[in-house]
A = this chain, B = another copy of it.
């Protein structure tokens, strides 16, 4: 995958544009071709608007084919290597390439039921969903109506395309496709940022089970050098930040009880807006703490 500037694309031939952006919409290079006719674009947003218009103005058959061309989640296309490379990466990011047999069977059943009911593959921008959210979405949409599902599926196709386009084109007015989870730790005994605090971020993959998805240590400013999740959508899920605050105060010379009143502090919070910024600080002493959704 190669990133091009918007200027380069404005100056390129139609063929070059299709070569560069043809895979933004799965198996549908005609979208890039139609948009190319409206160049030049001042902003990436404008290019995407032209692609979206191309989809909306296409014939019903083409729009249906666009949906039909999408691979199933954890489906046969994935197993048989018939997906766009971007789809392969997207499904892998959600762990769909490492399902247990039972999970694979569950997806196969859901996929079959969905295709049976709507005549289309189930489409979801999986980069925006954690495991729990993905399954809830699948079941909710299975219970929906054909009209609502056509609209829902096309909205997901556009979300997928927006993320792909942002990765392929740089320039003014990028699409808003990324969110963030960040934190900072304040030690209100010393009145200073807490440096050297180990933090881990876990995602709940079921109502009780969580997996660690990021680890960091706070710097001199009490922050992590980079967001714990950033530069991509934050999957819709319940998360837990876990701070080794007992270690911090022991290092600072406090004699804490054994076990300490506060040792590992978990802050559990839900992310419902994958493009949002979730700043979740910890303000702590050895005997108290607080958090809030910050800014």
Contacts and interface: CB of A to CB of B under 8 A. Distances in A.
Interface in A262-276: 262-266, 268-273
Nearest to A210: B208
Contact of A293 (B263, B268, B288): B288
Interface string A244-277: 0000000000000111111111101111110000
Interface in A160-192: 184, 186, 188-192
A258 B272 contact: yes
A259 B270 contact: yes
A238 interface: yes
B261 A237 contact: no
Given A259-B270, A270-B259, A186 B289 contact: no
A222 interface: yes
B191 A287 contact: yes
Nearest to A287: B191
A137 to B, nearest CB: 11
A31 to B, nearest CB: 31
Nearest to A257: B272
A58 B264 CA distance: 46
A145 interface: no
A18 B261 CA distance: 42
A193 interface: yes
A286 B186 contact: no
Given A188-B285, A285-B188, A237 B259 contact: yes
A257 to B, nearest CB: 3
A11 to B, nearest CB: 38
- Please indicate which of the listed interface residues A184, A268, A273 has the most CB atoms of chain B within 10 Å of its own CB: A268
A294 interface: yes
B292 A291 contact: no
19 contacts: A133-B259, A186-B288, A188-B285, A188-B288, A190-B287, A191-B286, A192-B295, A193-B295, A222-B295, A258-B272, A260-B272, A263-B270, A264-B268, A266-B266, A287-B292, A288-B292, A288-B293, A289-B291, A289-B292
Given A283-B292, A287-B292, 18 more contacts: A133-B259, A188-B188, A188-B292, A188-B293, A189-B286, A191-B292, A192-B295, A237-B259, A257-B270, A259-B271, A261-B270, A262-B269, A263-B268, A285-B292, A288-B290, A288-B292, A290-B290, A290-B291
